[in-house]
A and B are shown apart, each in its own frame.
Chain A
C-alpha cells in the first residue's frame, strides 16, 4: 500500500495531496441541522448537497436531509435566483420546515448570486424563516462554514429585549451530538440555565422508534436562538468554530462572550467549569469534583502507559488545540501537530503550549495536508497517531496505532454518541490512548516479555 510514495522527502507547494480539511458548505449544513425544524439548503448544483449528505451520513450513521437548488448549466449562466425562489416555494410546500438555512457553494459564489436580495423577493410563508450564509469553498474549510452558519443564526435570529436573563449561551463548536449532550449535562449539574446552539443532539443521534421524523425532536429552537440575545453570557467553545458568532452576539445584543477551548482534556474542562462558576457565582457541585478526581486518579494510575510517548495529531483546529493541551497534560510529546484549516492563530497557540511545556523540535502547521504529515512521520516516526479516519493509511503504512478522533470517522461506529468533552471525555480519551499503546506492546512483545498485568 502506498508504494507510490517517494523515497526521499519532497515538498510540494501547489494544491493539496490528501487534504486534512474539506469545504465550507458541509460545515454550514451540519450547523443548520442543529436548529430544530430546520432544513438545510444548498444553493448550487446537486453534487455538493449529495456529497455533504453522504459524508455526514457516513460519520453519524443517521439520516441527513437537505435540499438543493439543483443548478444546471442555465442557472450557472443566468444566475440562480429563479432556482432559489422555486426551491423555497417547494421546500415549504412539500416538507414544511420551520426554517430553511441556505448556504452557498463555490458555483453560486463564483457567479455572484446575491442571496439577501433573492430572499427579499422570495415567497416565504407567514411564520416561516429563511436564513443564509455565504460559504465559498475556496476560502477556509468546513470549520469556517460551520462558524459562518452559527454567525448567521445570531445575525438573523438573536434579539435583545433589553432585559438580561441569568442564562448562558453555549456555542459548542463542531462536535458530535454526544459531546453536546455531555456539555448540557455539565451545565445542568452546575444548575445554570442554558441555551446551546447549534445543538445536533436529538437530530443526529435520534433513537430508533420505527417512526421516521424528518424533523426530529432535537435541535435548538428558533425561540431559543432568539432568546440568546437576552443571556448574561456566551461561552464560545473553540475559537475557529464559535468566536465569530459570540462576537456578533456581543456586538448585536450586548451579551458578553468568553472565548474558550473546546472542553476536551482536563485543563480545558476546568476552564469551562470555572468560567460558569465565576460568572454565575455558582459553586461547583460535588458530582463534578468527583468526576475530576477520577480523571486525575486515572492519570496517576496509568501515566507509565503513555508518558514520554511521541504522538502526531491532526484534525480540525479547535479539536487539535484542545487535544494537544491534554496530551501535554498526560506527559506525552506532541511531535507533529497539523490542521488543514488555514489560520496562523493555530500555529501560534500550539507553539505557545509546546514552549510552555518545554517541548522542542515539534512540527506544527496550519493549512497542511496528510501527505506532508506522512512525510514527517516517515522521516522520524512517532509512537501514536491521533486523528480522523483518513489517518488509517498512514497508520498502516508506518505501522503506528491510530486513535480515531474528530471529524470524520467513517470506519468505526458509536463515536458520535460517546463524548470526548468533559471529565468523562477525558477518561474515554485516556482509555483509547492507553489501550492503543498497550495493544501494540502486547502485539510486539517477545514471548518472554509478554505479561499478564500491565
Chain B
C-alpha cells in the first residue's frame, strides 16, 4: 500500500470548506511513534450538518443495541412506525430458549410499536401506550417490558416513566421506560449510556439467585451476533467458569436481575457497556476485566488473564489445556488462509471496540488494519481510560444523565473477595493484569497508521484513493460504495450474516470468509474482455 503520512490528512480534507476542515482535522490522527505519548483525537462531538455520516441515534443505541436483545422482555417502541420497524430483527442478536427462559417467553422476533398517528402527537400518546402495554400483557404475558422513546415523544412531553409506573402497578411486572429520543447526544453512544443507566438503576440487584459454580462471570458488551456469545460460553464453561449472563446477547431479564451475583465482569464492547462495569464495581465491588476474544493470540491472552484473576492453579492448568488443544487445532487451518491473506491491508470502521479487536485476528492471518475508526466512540476508546478525567463535558454530553451509584452497604464486598484471593494477592494481580482499565486502540496501532473518528463518506473515498486497501470492514452503508470502487467489503456489524467470529472456531470462520472474499473470481472479471488493454487491468488494485 501507499505509505500514509501526515500530509494524507490534508489531502483527504482538501475538498472541504475551511470550517469543516478545521473541525474534521481533529478527528483524524496519524500515529506517530516518535511523539512518545498518545496523540489526542477528538471524539463524541457533534457531526457537522450535511456531512454524510455513518452515525445513528440514541434510540438505535438504546433499543437497537442494548435493550433489544433481551429476549424475554417485550420491547415497545413508543413513536411513529419507522424506528421500531427498522430495529426489528436487523442486528442478528441470536437468542434461544434454555432452562430459565422457555420458548414461549421469547419475543425477539416481534416488533411492537405504538405507531403514533397525528392525533397522538397533538393530544399525547400516553393512553395509546398504556393500552398497548395492557394488550401485550394480556396476549403474551411477558416477564417484563421495555418502553423505548423516539424523537417526538420527548418533544410532546409524553411521560413514559409515569405510564410505566402505572402499568407496573396494574400488572405487577416491571416496565422500564427509556428516554432514548433520537436527538439525544451526538450518536448511538447516548443510547448505550441511557440503557446502561436504566439496567443498572432498575434491574440489576433485584434478583437473589446466584448460579452454581466457583467462578461465576458476566460477559458484558457481547451481543451474540452470529453466535459469538455461544462460542465464548462453550470455551469458558469447559474451562470451569459459569456464565451468569451474556449481556445483552441472548440475555434474559432474569439473568440481568441477578447480574450482581458474579465474581468478575468481562467487558467485550468497551463503548456500549463500560458504564455498567464501572457502576457495578462501585456499587458491589465486582472487578472488571477488558477482554478481547477476536483472534487466537488475543483470546489466549484474555483467557490467561481471567484465570490469573482467580489465582487458582487448577483453573490456570485447565485454561492452558484448552488453549493448547484449541490453538493446536485451529492454527494449521489459519495457516492455510494466511497464505492467501498475507501482506494485505484493511480499513475498519466498526463498532465500539471491534476496529481494535479485529486488528489481532487480522494479524493472525498476516493482515494489517492501516486505517481504523469508530462511528460513536469516545476519546477513551481510542486513547485509553486514563484520559477520562481530562475530557471536558460539552452541552451534548450533559444531556445524558449521569447515574451516580453509591456503594451498596449490604452487598458490597472487596474485589479480592469476589476473586477469592487475599488483599496481597489482589495487589500483585493489579500489577500484572490491568483490572478495571482499558488502554484504548491507539497503542495497538502502528507508526503511520491512521485513526479516524466519525469517518464520513467523502473521507473514506479519499482514504481509499490514497491508501488503496485490499479490503474494508464496515457496515452496510459503506459496503456497496466500497464494492463499486472495486474493493471487497465485509460487514462487521452483521458479519454478512455468517459467524461466529469470536474465539477459535470464530477465527477459522472469519479467515475463511475473508479469504473467500479476496479470492472471489468476479473481482477479476470487472473489465470486459473487449475493454481490456492488458492482462492486469481486470484485477483489483492492479
Binding site for B on A (CB under 8 A): 1-4, 6, 10, 12-19, 21-23, 25-26, 41, 44-48, 50-55, 57-58, 61-76, 82-84, 86-91, 93-95, 105-107, 109-111, 136-139, 141, 206, 208-214, 340, 371, 390, 393
Check if A50 sits within 8 Å of B57, measured CB to CB: yes
Check if B57 sits within 8 Å of A14, measured CB to CB: no
What A residues does B17 contact at CB under 8 A? 89-90, 93-94
Interface presence of B395 (CB below 8 A):
yes
From A22, A82, A88, A208, give the contact of B81 (CB < 8 A).
A22
17 contacts between A and B (CB under 8 A): A14-B128, A16-B115, A21-B81, A23-B81, A23-B82, A45-B182, A47-B58, A48-B57, A48-B82, A51-B86, A72-B185, A74-B396, A76-B151, A90-B49, A106-B151, A210-B527, A212-B484
Check if A70 sits within 8 Å of B53, measured CB to CB: yes
What A residues does B46 contact at CB under 8 A? 70, 72
Closest approach, in angstroms, between the C-beta of B291 and any C-beta of chain A? 29
Check if B155 sits within 8 Å of A68, measured CB to CB: no
What B residues does A58 contact at CB under 8 A? 476
Task: Beyond A1-B103, A90-B20, list 5 extra A-B contacts (CB 8 Å).
Answer: A2-B109, A4-B104, A76-B154, A94-B15, A110-B155
**Chain A binder among B32-40, B116-124, B313-321, B412-420:** B116-124
Interface presence of B106 (CB below 8 A):
yes
Check if A90 sits within 8 Å of B109, measured CB to CB: no
Check if B57 sits within 8 Å of A46, measured CB to CB: yes
* Residue total for B at the interface (Cβ-Cβ under 8 A): 90
Closest approach, in angstroms, between the C-beta of A330 and any C-beta of chain B? 31
Check if B477 sits within 8 Å of A57, measured CB to CB: yes
Interface centre among B50, B85, B103 (most CB of A within 10 A): B50
Check if B120 sits within 8 Å of A138, measured CB to CB: yes
What B residues does A93 contact at CB under 8 A? 16-17, 20
Interface presence of B132 (CB below 8 A):
yes
Q: Tell me the nearest residue of chain A to B72, going by C-beta.
A: A4
What A residues does B102 contact at CB under 8 A? 3
Interface presence of B519 (CB below 8 A):
no
From B110, B155, B477, B484, give the contact of A107 (CB < 8 A).
B155
Q: Tell me the nearest residue of chain A to B20, going by C-beta.
A: A90
Interface presence of B458 (CB below 8 A):
yes
What B residues does A211 contact at CB under 8 A? 484-485
From A57, A73, A110, give the contact of B396 (CB < 8 A).
A73
In Å, the complex CA distance between A87 and B51 comes to: 7
Q: Which residues of B from 112 to 137 have beta carbons under 8 Å from A?
A: 112-118, 120-121, 128-129, 131-132, 135
Check if A70 sits within 8 Å of B121, measured CB to CB: no
Interface presence of B411 (CB below 8 A):
no
What A residues does B155 contact at CB under 8 A? 76, 107, 110-111
What A residues does B55 contact at CB under 8 A? 46, 50, 70
From A13, A44, A64, A340, give the contact of B477 (CB < 8 A).
A64
What A residues does B120 contact at CB under 8 A? 138
Closest approach, in angstroms, between the C-beta of B44 and any C-beta of chain A? 12
What A residues does B88 contact at CB under 8 A? 18, 390
In Å, the complex CA distance between A110 and B154 comes to: 10
Check if B481 sits within 8 Å of A4, measured CB to CB: no
What B residues does A62 contact at CB under 8 A? 480, 484
Check if A68 sits within 8 Å of B53, measured CB to CB: yes
Check if A15 sits within 8 Å of B53, measured CB to CB: no
In Å, the complex CA distance between A343 and B51 comes to: 37
Q: Tell me the nearest residue of chain B to A8, going by C-beta.
A: B139
Tell me whether A110 and B57 are in contact in the complex, defined as CB-CB below 8 angstroms, given that A57-B480, A94-B17 are known contacts: no
In Å, the complex CA distance between A73 and B401 comes to: 13
What A residues does B128 contact at CB under 8 A? 14-15
What B residues does A86 contact at CB under 8 A? 48-50
Check if B81 sits within 8 Å of A141, measured CB to CB: yes
Binding site for A on B (CB under 8 A): 15-17, 20, 46-60, 76, 79-88, 90, 97, 102-107, 109-118, 120-121, 128-129, 131-132, 135, 138-140, 150-152, 154-156, 182-188, 395-396, 399, 457-458, 461, 475-477, 479-481, 483-486, 526-527, 540
Closest approach, in angstroms, between the C-beta of B121 and any C-beta of chain A? 5
In Å, the complex CA distance between A23 and B81 comes to: 6
Check if B477 sits within 8 Å of A106, measured CB to CB: no
What B residues does A209 contact at CB under 8 A? 484, 526
Check if A210 sits within 8 Å of B486, measured CB to CB: yes
Tell me whether A63 and B480 are in contact in the complex, defined as CB-CB below 8 angstroms, given that A22-B82, A51-B60 are known contacts: yes
In Å, the complex CA distance between A150 and B281 comes to: 56
Closest approach, in angstroms, between the C-beta of B485 and any C-beta of chain A? 5
Check if A6 sits within 8 Å of B526, measured CB to CB: no
What B residues does A69 contact at CB under 8 A? 49-50
Tell me whether A19 and B109 are in contact in the complex, defined as CB-CB below 8 angstroms, given that A10-B139, A45-B182 are known contacts: no
Closest approach, in angstroms, between the C-beta of A205 and any C-beta of chain B? 11
Check if B82 sits within 8 Å of A72, measured CB to CB: no
Tell me whether A51 and B139 are in contact in the complex, defined as CB-CB below 8 angstroms, given that A72-B183, A105-B151, A212-B481 are known contacts: no
In Å, the complex CA distance between A93 and B458 comes to: 12
In Å, the complex CA distance between A64 and B105 comes to: 37
From A3, A19, A110, give the contact of B113 (CB < 8 A).
A19
Check if A210 sits within 8 Å of B151, measured CB to CB: no
Top 8 nearest A-B pairs (CB, nearest first) are: A47-B57, A23-B82, A87-B50, A90-B50, A210-B486, A137-B80, A107-B151, A14-B131
Closest approach, in angstroms, between the C-beta of A43 and any C-beta of chain B? 9
Check if A70 sits within 8 Å of B51, measured CB to CB: yes
In Å, the complex CA distance between A65 and B47 comes to: 16
Check if B476 sits within 8 Å of A63, measured CB to CB: no
Interface centre among A51, A66, A87, A209 (most CB of B within 10 A): A51
From A25, A63, A73, A94, give the contact of B183 (CB < 8 A).
A73
From B16, B475, B476, give the contact of A94 (CB < 8 A).
B16
Check if A54 sits within 8 Å of B115, measured CB to CB: no
Check if A4 sits within 8 Å of B485, measured CB to CB: no
Q: Tell me the nearest residue of chain A to B185, going by C-beta.
A: A72
Tell me whether A90 and B51 are in contact in the complex, defined as CB-CB below 8 angstroms, given that A4-B110, A14-B128 are known contacts: yes
What A residues does B48 contact at CB under 8 A? 70, 86, 90
Q: Tell me the nearest residue of chain A to B464, going by C-beta.
A: A212
Check if B138 sits within 8 Å of A10, measured CB to CB: yes
From B16, B82, B109, B113, give the contact of A15 (CB < 8 A).
B113
Closest approach, in angstroms, between the C-beta of A67 and any C-beta of chain B? 5
Q: Tell me the nearest residue of chain B to A21, going by C-beta.
A: B81
What A residues does B50 contact at CB under 8 A? 41, 67-70, 86-91, 94
Closest approach, in angstroms, between the C-beta of B77 and any C-beta of chain A? 9
